[in-house]
Structure 1
Amino acid sequence: MTLTPEFLDANYVERDGVRLAYGDVGPKDGPVVFLVHGLAASGMQFTADAHFFAKWGYRVIVPDLRGHGRSSAPTGKKSEDFSIAEMAKDIIAIADHIEASVFHYVGNSLGGILALWALKEHGARFRSFASFGTSYSLRTPEAGVGLLKWIYKLLGPNLIGRIGAVGTTKNKAARPIVRAMLTAIDIDVVTQIVGHVGNYNLIDNALAYPGPIMLLRCGHDKSVNSALGPTLSKMKSQDDFTLIEVPDGGHCANLDATDRVRQYLLEFWQTTEQNER
């Protein structure tokens, strides 16, 4: 059955002139879970997961990052408006808005990077941190922003969406979701963010965080896996760090290894909550 691209109903909060959209489903008194998408995606990626986890009693918050989905972009779209720090502060602003003092956090790709930055100043609010498609550090050649824009202009959003969907997930039923997200990207936003996430090292933030961390290493996510060496060499000795192999997962593992990812996350949160008692 083909999955329908759809958003959760939107709620909004404003921070520094940016209108941030987020979905909010599940019991208001349930444990709070953030599901945060990556670059060039949107909260649409997690709509089905949000409904699933809500049935388990969780209050699930699914943001659209600034310049993605239904969230606005800062006027002028300057580079400094899309730093890792600024985008991470948006997540904390949403948490403040819903009065969530603590929460579980799941980040895919850029969503995971934002959490790694936030752990330094807001680690006490993270009950747990899980990620997939995220390396805790990255060092790549300077991105060719001009080339990215040229490719986008040459191919156009519709072809970018079709090609990207096939390359992102092997699950044909999920490709309409990926295609819809990629077709809707703002190339100026994407290229500004690329300028910030090509070189970073947030491993120390993860090492200093005292709570449980789970990293899902997905078999089909070759580019991220090739960058995980420094992350794993430092993190594997940490008592509260768990590495989970997801052989059939791609970069957006929740879309192509859905049942497995959901199972791992539920077990992770439930174990965390039991250990807190």
Structure 2
Amino acid sequence: MEFKPEFLDANYIERDGVRIAFGDVGPKDGPVVFLVHGLAASGMQFTADAHFFANLGYRIIVPDLRGHGRSGKPAHMSIEAFSIPELSKDMLAIADHIGATQCHYVGNSLGGIIALWALEDHRERFRSFASFGTTYSLKTPKAGVGVLKWIYKIMGPNLIGKLGAVGTTKNKQARPLVQAMLSAIDIDVVTSIVGHVGNYDLIDRAIAYNGPIMMLRCGQDKSVNAALGPTLSAMEPRDNFMLIEVPKGGHCANLDATDRVRQYLLEFWQRIEQAE
């Protein structure tokens, strides 16, 4: 399967002075689906998936998180401007802009984290929530922002892109796409977000949501899987939670186990739509 490092055509909204880009493909009256990337990626991660699901009648929204891809960043940088709530509010603002009162939401890594924040206070907006590469809580040693910036300065964006692509996916066809995303990172944005996602606990917010939840646990995503214990202890007993194993999936499972991920998402949405 071919993955081209290209974006969907861009639409824009502005929230609090920040211009947020998003792709919008598929029939305007189709069920709305958000496909949301993680830290240091961009919307191009989901371009191929967007066209696939749009051809099946879904309206697919693919944002670039603030400071990523074609989206802007605040004129005056601050850690607070890249908090989980701020990132989440950007997604809600896109939904308001397109008139979507409900959506199926799929988040990878950080994309899942920012949805978890909204599940409790905005539960009516989520027709369903699915994630991969996301743990609902995490406790890690405080990241050394200075070290990250030093590594970026020494290695440079091109080398980071090449090495990161190899480490992110075993699918050689997807590596040019990953390399393009990682080579384009804004290190100030990345380090600002790292300060928020090293230690968090959003399990209670997930528990407060009674809608359908699906987690794809990807066999090659070792670091996230090692942190899933508290999440699964809290969520597996719940009737609205479904855990699906994707043995060949890595952190960006839609690039490694594409057909499986698409199949599981479609089956998940179709069960929900049939039950409504």
- State the TM bucket, normalised to the shorter chain: over 0.9
- CA displacement 1:151-188 (0-9 Å, x = unmatched): 00000000000000000000000001100000000000
Equivalent position of 2:14 in the other structure: 14
Equivalent position of 1:258 in the other structure: 258
Equivalent position of 1:224 in the other structure: 224
Equivalent position of 1:141 in the other structure: 141
What amino acid is the match of 1:176?
A: P
Distance apart, 1:76 and its partner CA: 2.0
What amino acid is the match of 1:168?
A: T
- CA displacement 1:183-204 (0-9 Å, x = unmatched): 0000000000000000100001
Q: Determine the C-alpha separation between the residues in 2 that align with 1:204 and 1:182.
A: 32
Equivalent position of 1:3 in the other structure: 3
Equivalent position of 1:102 in the other structure: 102
Number of positions where the alignment pairs a residue of Structure 1 with one of Structure 2: 276
What amino acid is the match of 2:103?
A: F
What amino acid is the match of 1:49?
A: D
Distance apart, 1:44 and its partner CA: 0.3
Is contact 1:102-1:126 (8 Å) kept? Answer: yes
Q: Determine the C-alpha separation between the residues in 2 that align with 1:245 and 1:111.
A: 19
Please list, as runs of the form range in 1=range in 2, the aligned pairs for 1:94-133 lying within 5 A after superposition.
94-133=94-133
Is contact 1:95-1:101 (8 Å) kept? Answer: yes
SS at match of 1:172: coil
Distance apart, 1:208 and its partner CA: 1.0
- CA displacement 1:209-252 (0-9 Å, x = unmatched): 01000000000000000000000000000001000000000000
Residues 1:46 and 2:11 aligned together: no
Residues 1:23 and 2:23 aligned together: yes
What amino acid is the match of 1:245?
A: E
Please list, as runs of the form range in 1=range in 2, the aligned pairs for 1:47-86 lying within 5 A after superposition.
47-86=47-86
Q: Determine the C-alpha separation between the residues in 2 that align with 1:60 and 1:169.
A: 24
Please list, as runs of the form range in 1=range in 2, the aligned pairs for 1:90-239 lying within 5 A after superposition.
90-239=90-239
Q: Determine the C-alpha separation between the residues in 1 that align with 2:188 and 2:171.
A: 29
TM-score (norm 1): 0.99
Identity %: 78
What amino acid is the match of 2:128?
A: S
What amino acid is the match of 1:18?
A: V
- CA displacement 1:127-156 (0-9 Å, x = unmatched): 000000000000000001000000000000
SS at match of 2:173: helix
Residues 1:37 and 2:37 aligned together: yes
Distance apart, 1:2 and its partner CA: 4.7
Q: Determine the C-alpha separation between the residues in 2 that align with 1:33 and 1:97.
A: 14
Q: Determine the C-alpha separation between the residues in 1 that align with 2:31 and 2:261.
A: 19
Q: Determine the C-alpha separation between the residues in 1 that align with 2:185 and 2:275.
A: 41
Give the 4+ runs in structure 1 shifted more than 6 A: none
What amino acid is the match of 1:188?
A: D
What amino acid is the match of 1:78?
A: S
Is contact 1:2-1:176 (8 Å) kept? Answer: no
Q: CA RMSD in A?
A: 0.6
Distance apart, 1:91 and its partner CA: 0.2
